[in-house]
């Protein structure tokens, strides 16, 4: 009896401590949102101070002796066995974060953050001057610091695994190699076949003038249809769209409009809407714990890509929404039929940059980045050789070669931010989305005809019950296995792509 009381008190104390961290974290997220959307420029230094102080306080609370002592008490087998599954998973999650924070010396974390702060400015200059050698020393330093951090955290096979774990707990570089090799084997010849096909699709209607306010009105309309609750969320404009979930009752989305491209706004709104629906569906009881959030970055991306590509670029969706869109843009879409619209938005064209990529070529960008990052982490290649390696992979896999390093290895800021191990989450998202949707179609055979009628509620309900409500209670590998009955595979994505694009391009495959 007495022992139970001690345990209850320890658990209450532990939960209160975690709540203190969570409240600071959500205030920090709100600050980050405000910084992008509303903050006067003059406040940027003050905001940087506020945010770094908040992150320092969270870090100190996490690695405090109190946290360590509470964890030790709760992790005693006799105590752990008496707790319910949610409490147990939560304690183990905090322990994982605690261990990571303890293992990596603060000095190393600071050195990385100073290096990446400088590297971002150097990267801008190097890209502007199209001169990789300016950026090369920064990248060398970032790789070496990341190697040191990986060594502190520990790993079995490759240092890359230690970095991956931040985004995709439980997934290894060797898992990715299997998935990526299967994709390459199928996608590279398919891209070639599409290139050689006689079908010439016209996508020029996308790139004409579309009124910005009308675009924004449609974005809100789309969000409502797919089931993002605007009473518990908000949509604003930025240059780089993102989603911040501050809790199931406050999910902020951003989109990007371009008056000369209809699809930036529509695509990014449905994408962020997918992230937002996930955040709004996470169990409210997890809000004040470390389990509030998506199962992993890749699983989060599976929800955004499911809505953006499988649904939002699918024929069923446009059977429903094309008449509505056409009514809004009567002149612009006057001569465009549903069929030419659907084919136009799905035109395949190898390009140099991921953000502009179609569904067929998209993952190749990710695979190239992964192969180079992993070889850098394992010292198999040298930083100075990356531009040539980058260009050769683009030529070999996509049949196009960057004209210079600004278009190639210097194209985006991910490496200057130190985001190594992040890119694979995009492909994990695509593969998971296809595997999950395959399961949905089996369980809900009428799903496509519901979408044709503009009914998205069955889809949302299924995703909520099977995925969203669990937050981080399930690890990504377990979640995929439990939801689909299988490990994550490339096959479902490959079949989806082959079916869709053999029809669009009249291919015999």
Residue 121: Cβ-neighbour burial (10 angstroms; 0-12, 13-18, 19+): exposed
CB of 268 to Zn ion, least distance (A): 9
79 binds Zn ion (CB under 5 A): no
Q: Of residues 439-478, which lie at the interface with Zn ion (CB under 5 A)?
A: none
CA proximity to 438, closest of 492, 475, 359: 492
Q: Please, which residue, 223 or 376, has the CB nearer to Zn ion?
A: 223
CB of 145 to Zn ion, least distance (A): 26
Contact predicate 225/455, CB 8 Å:
no
Q: How far apart are CA 146 and CA 139, in angstroms?
A: 10
Q: Please, which residue, 127 or 354, has the CB nearer to Zn ion?
A: 354
CB of 441 to Zn ion, least distance (A): 23
Q: Of residues 110-139, which lie at the interface with Zn ion (CB under 5 A)?
A: none
What is the torsional sign of CA 20, 22, 24, 27? negative
Q: Please, which residue, 280 or 304, has the CB nearer to Zn ion?
A: 304
Q: Which residue has the tokens 């409490």?
A: 87
Residue 272 designated active-site: yes
CB of 449 to Zn ion, least distance (A): 28
Closest-approach residue to Zn ion (CB): 304
Burial 335-362 (b: 16+ CB within 10 A, else e): ebeeeebbbbbbbbebbbebeebbbbbb
Angle, helix 362-377 to helix 173-196, in steps of 10 degrees: 140
Q: x/- string (CB under 5 A) for Zn ion, residues 297-326?
A: ----x--x----------------------
Q: Please, which residue, 307 or 342, has the CB nearer to Zn ion?
A: 307
Q: Please, which residue, 275 or 374, has the CB nearer to Zn ion?
A: 275
What secondary structure letter does DSSP report for 417? T
Rounded to the nearest 5 percent, the helix, strand and coil shares of the chain are 70, 5, 30
CB of 309 to Zn ion, least distance (A): 11
Tokens of 336: 């465009």
Measure Cα distances from 198 to 125, 193, 336, 347 in Å: 43, 10, 21, 13
CA proximity to 68, closest of 105, 23, 99: 99
Q: Please, which residue, 301 or 373, has the CB nearer to Zn ion?
A: 301
Q: How far apart are CA 115 and CA 469, in angstroms?
A: 38
Q: Please, which residue, 278 or 390, has the CB nearer to Zn ion?
A: 278
Q: Please, which residue, 165 or 301, has the CB nearer to Zn ion?
A: 301
Helix (H, G, I), strand (E, B) or coil at 254: strand
Count of residues near Zn ion by CB under 5 A: 2
Task: Check 272, 301, 308, 359 and give the catalytic one.
Answer: 272
Query: Which residue stretch of 229-237, 293-301, 340-348, 490-498 sits at the interface with Zn ion (rule: CB under 5 A)?
Result: 293-301
Q: x/- string (CB under 5 A) for Zn ion, residues 245-284?
A: ----------------------------------------
CB of 308 to Zn ion, least distance (A): 8
Q: Which residue has the tokens 């000095």?
A: 107
DSSP result, 156-201 = SS-HHHHHHTTTSTT--HHHHHHHHHHHHHHHHHHHHHHHHSS---
CB of 243 to Zn ion, least distance (A): 7
CB of 426 to Zn ion, least distance (A): 8
Task: Catalog residues that contact Zn ion under the rule CB under 5 A.
Answer: 301, 304
Catalytic site positions: 272
């Amino acid at each position: 009896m007495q022992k139970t009381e001690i345990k209850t008190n320890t658990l209450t104390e532990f939960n209160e401590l975690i709540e203190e961290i969570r409240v600071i974290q959500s205030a920090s997220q709100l600050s980050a949102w405000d910084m992008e959307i509303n903050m006067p420029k003059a406040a940027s230094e003050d905001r940087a101070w506020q945010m770094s102080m908040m992150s320092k306080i969270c870090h100190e609370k996490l690695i405090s002796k109190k946290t360590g002592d509470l964890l030790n008490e709760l992790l005693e087998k006799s105590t752990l066995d008496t707790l319910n599954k949610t409490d147990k998973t939560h304690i183990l999650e905090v322990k994982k974060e605690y261990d990571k924070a303890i293992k990596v010396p603060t000095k190393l974390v600071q050195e990385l953050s100073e290096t990446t702060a400088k590297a971002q400015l150097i990267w801008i200059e190097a890209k502007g001057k199209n001169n990789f050698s300016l950026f090369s020393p920064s990248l060398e330093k970032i790789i070496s610091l990341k190697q040191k951090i990986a060594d502190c955290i520990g790993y079995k096979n490759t240092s890359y695994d230690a970095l991956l774990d931040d985004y995709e707990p439980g997934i290894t570089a060797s898992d990715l190699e299997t998935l990526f090799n299967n994709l390459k084997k199928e996608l590279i010849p398919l891209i070639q076949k599409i290139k050689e096909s006689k079908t010439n699709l016209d996508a020029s209607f996308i790139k004409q003038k579309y009124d910005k306010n009308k675009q924004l009105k449609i974005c809100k309309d789309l969000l409502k249809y797919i089931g993002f609750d605007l009473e518990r969320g908000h949509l604003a404009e930025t240059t780089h769209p993102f989603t911040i979930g501050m809790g199931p009752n406050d999910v902020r989305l951003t989109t990007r409009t371009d008056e000369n491209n209809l699809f930036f706004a529509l695509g990014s709104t449905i994408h962020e809407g997918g992230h937002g629906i996930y955040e709004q569906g996470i169990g409210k009881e997890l809000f004040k714990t470390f389990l509030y959030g998506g199962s992993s970055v890749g699983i989060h991306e599976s929800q955004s890509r499911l809505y953006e590509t499988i649904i939002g670029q699918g024929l069923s969706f446009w059977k429903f929404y094309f008449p509505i869109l056409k009514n809004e843009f009567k002149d612009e879409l006057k001569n465009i039929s549903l069929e030419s619209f659907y084919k136009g938005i799905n035109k395949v064209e190898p390009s140099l940059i991921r953000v502009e990529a179609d569904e067929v070529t998209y993952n190749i960008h990710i695979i190239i980045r992964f192969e180079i990052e992993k070889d850098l982490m394992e010292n198999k290649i040298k930083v100075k050789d990356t531009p040539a390696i980058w260009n050769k992979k683009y030529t070999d896999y996509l049949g196009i070669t960057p004209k210079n390093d600004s278009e190639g290895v210097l194209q985006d800021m991910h490496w200057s931010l130190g985001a190594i191990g992040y890119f694979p989450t995009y492909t994990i998202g695509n593969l998971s989305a296809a595997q999950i949707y395959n399961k949905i179609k089996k369980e809900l055979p009428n799903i496509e005809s519901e979408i044709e009628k503009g009914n998205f509620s069955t889809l949302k309900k299924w995703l909520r019950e099977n995925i969203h409500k669990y937050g981080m209670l399930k690890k990504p590998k377990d979640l995929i296995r439990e939801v689909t009955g299988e490990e994550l595979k490339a096959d479902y994505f490959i079949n989806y792509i082959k079916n869709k694009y053999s029809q669009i391009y009249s291919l015999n495959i």
